[in-house]
Amino acid sequence: MKSISKILLIGFAALLLLEGCKSSSNGELTGVQDRPKWFEPQPLGMVFIPQGHFQMGMNEQDVPFALNSQIKTVTVDAFWMDNTEITNNEYRQFVLWVRDSIAMRLCVKNGIQEFQIVPKDQPTNTDFYDPSDPLQVHLNWSNVDKLWNGKDPNVEQALVDLYYSKQDALSGRKEIDTRKLVYEYFFIDLSQAGRKENRYIYDDLGGTGQLPKGHYEGKIISYNYDSYGQEKPFKNRTDLIQHFKVPVYPDTLVWISDYTYSYNEPYTRQYFSHPAFDDYPVVGINWHQANAFSHWRTKINNDYNEQEGMPIVENYRLPTEAEWEYAARGGRDVTVYPWGGPYTRNNQGCLLANFKPMRGMYGLDGAVRTVSVGSYNPNDYGLYDMAGNVAEWTSTAYDDAASVFTHDLNPEYTYNSSKNDPISKKRKVIKGGSWKDIAYYLQNGVRAYEYQDTAKSYVGFRNVRSYLGKDVQAFEGY
């Protein structure tokens, strides 16, 4: 009997051991184990902006009596921000990436398979991936140099449509038709998904569920190739997926179209293309192009992270108006300019930003038009050119009364204008003033706007990225 009991005891212990091998939680709530450790390193060219609160709005007299920037106490989360405006050379990386990706897909379309990669872990034929579709194939970027060395006649033939036709060629020169450099991307419109009328209701009996009653009354805005706005009813998740095709090449003609009776042709020919201007802020970029750049920047960063087995990062994007103004103040609340003082000159009489001083004395500050980013001292957060040089796009839609109805925590007002909306619905907030503006527009709290599909020679942009995790730096000193 003792031996039988011993055998049963050993068997019971073995059973417990086997059960324990199935789970390390021992029946306790432990959370999912072996999650990747997360540490967010400082992104290249960005500075950390800690969370905080500030008085948003005008701190000086409202000279034009616009009444569009009333003072309001708001709080913003921590984020990363580019320490300078996006330069010509940085934006050129985007343009060349688009050019090369289009060129490789044209080659694949014409049967040149060396520009395509078939992933080892990807089925060759599924409902989600079709390797025979040039728009879906995984590109072989290691062969990108073969596109432009002129050694393969098959490649040359495949890329014919990417160049200007003989009729449009200037003096027989072979040039890329920049109108064909179009960046295509998709995203889910979370603001539309978050609306109550678009929420999915689950069946209590375990059925298939249903959409809210009357959801057809609420329409969403769909963005496509034909227009930047088209209303349609929401039925499925696919209706929330927005599809953009954005021409990416800067509008270099802004140096002429922005001015009357002014000679600016050298800037039209050279500003974006010549290495002399590589470190100057990119201009001629409309709001849609700035968003396309932000999407691409997120894509190449996360593609690399996935390749290296690292977690993906939060999206690069345009700053909200509140984020921009908070960062511009540099931790100094209720200040007029980013450098903290109420004047545009320092104690030695030197001008502190690139703008239009006095009455048309453009060069008095050291620059007649734009100047290399970082030419003036940064604010206390380490951000350059938050006043002057070029004004900057934000993600915020312009409304005179926005400060009245926006939340006091991460305030933001967005509006996706449809094709038939009046032009007043297509205004986006720009901040900081530019090289051609008087000092009033350099103030932290001043609001101005441009239309989302309009490019200007005095408007550029910079990116931000939301900070993920505990804002440790915000608690230093407490």
pLDDT digits (tens, 9 = 90+) for 18-28: 444 455 568 89
Average pLDDT over residues 28-56: 90
For the stretch 95-111, pLDDT in tens is 999 999 999 999 999 99
Phi, then psi, of 409 in degrees rounded to 5: -115, 115
Q: Are residues 398 and 464 in the same domain?
A: yes
Measured in whole angstroms, the distance separating CA 196 from the mean position of its chain's CA atoms is 27
Q: Indicate the pLDDT class of residue 241, thresholds 50, 70 and 90.
A: confident
Beta carbons of 430 and 393 less than 8 angstroms apart = yes
* The predicted structure's pLDDT at residue 77: 96
Q: With contact defined as beta carbons under 8 Å apart, do 107 and 82 qualify? A: no
By C-alpha distance, which of 467, 407, 455, 408 is closest to 430? 455
| 311 — pLDDT class (breaks 50, 70, 90) | confident
State whether 254 and 293 are in the same domain. yes
Is residue 392 located within the same domain as residue 408?
A: yes
> What percent of the chain shows pLDDT beyond 70?
80
Has residue 43 been placed in a domain? no
In terms of domains, do 347 and 394 share one?
Answer: yes
Same-domain check for residues 148 and 166: yes
| Same domain, residue pair 445 and 362 | yes
Q: Rounded to whole angstroms, what are the CA distances from 423 to 418, 427, 453?
A: 10, 7, 10
Type of residue at 289: Q
Tell me the C-alpha to C-alpha distance, in Å, between residue 472 and each of 40, 78, 338, 466, 477.
Answer: 12, 10, 24, 14, 11
pLDDT band for 120, please (50, 70, 90 cuts). low
| 383 and 452 share one domain | yes
Number of domains in the chain: 3
Q: What is the dihedral of CA 286, 431, 384, 357, to 10 degrees?
A: 110
The segment with the largest mean pLDDT, out of 213-217, 221-225, 271-275, 334-338, is: 271-275
Question: Do the domain assignments include residue 396?
Answer: yes
On the question of pLDDT at 172 being above 90, the answer is no
- Token pair listed for 45: 């060219």
What tokens does 232 get?
A: 């349609």
Residues 367 and 451 in one domain: yes
pLDDT computed for residue 477 by the predictor = 41
Higher per-residue confidence, 83 vs 419? 83
Phi-psi category of 412—alpha, beta or left, where left has phi over 0 and alpha has psi -120 to 50?
Answer: beta
| Lowest pLDDT segment from 210-214, 239-243, 321-325, 414-418 | 210-214
Residue 178 lies in a domain: no
311 burial via Cβ count (<10 Å: 0-12, 13-18, 19+): middle
CA 384-249-129 angle, 5° bins: 105
Residue 374 and residue 466 in one domain: yes
Residues of the domain holding 120: 89-173+250-263+278-307
Q: How much is the pTM?
A: 0.88
pLDDT, average across residues 150-171: 90
Residues 242 and 222: beta-carbon distance below 8 Å: yes
235 and 207 part of one domain: yes
User: Is residue 34, in this structure, part of any structural domain at all?
Assistant: no
Task: Read off the tokens for 218.
Answer: 């609420």
Q: Which residue has the higher pLDDT, 153 or 214?
A: 153
Give the mean pLDDT of 231-259.
86
Query: Is residue 355 one of the residues assigned to a domain?
Result: yes
Asked if the structure places residue 15 within a domain, the reply is no
What is the CATH classification number for the domain harbouring 419?
3.90.1580.10
Note the pLDDT of residue 65.
59
pLDDT of residue 170: 85
CB 328 within 8 A of CB 444: yes
- Bridge pairing between strands 138-139 and 182-188: unpaired
Q: What is the mean pLDDT of residues 251-274?
A: 96
For the ranges 72-86, 187-201, 213-227, 270-284, the lowest mean pLDDT is seen at 213-227
Q: What is the dihedral of CA 54, 56, 62, 67, to 10 degrees?
A: -150
Residue 282 inside a domain? The answer is: yes
Q: Is residue 272 part of a domain?
A: yes
Segment of 206-215, 277-286, 397-406 carrying the highest mean pLDDT: 277-286
Mean confidence (pLDDT) of the chain: 85
pLDDT at 370: 97
Residues 294 and 239 grouped into a single domain: no
Position 135 scores a pLDDT of 73
pLDDT in tens, 412-436: 999 888 777 889 999 999 999 999 9
For residue 67, pLDDT over 50 is answered with yes
Q: Point out the least confidently predicted range of 119-128, 282-291, 356-365, 373-382.
A: 119-128
107 and 236 in a single domain? The answer is no
In which band, very low, low, confident or very high, does the pLDDT at 410 lie, cut at 50, 70 and 90? very high
The pLDDT assigned to 264 comes to: 95
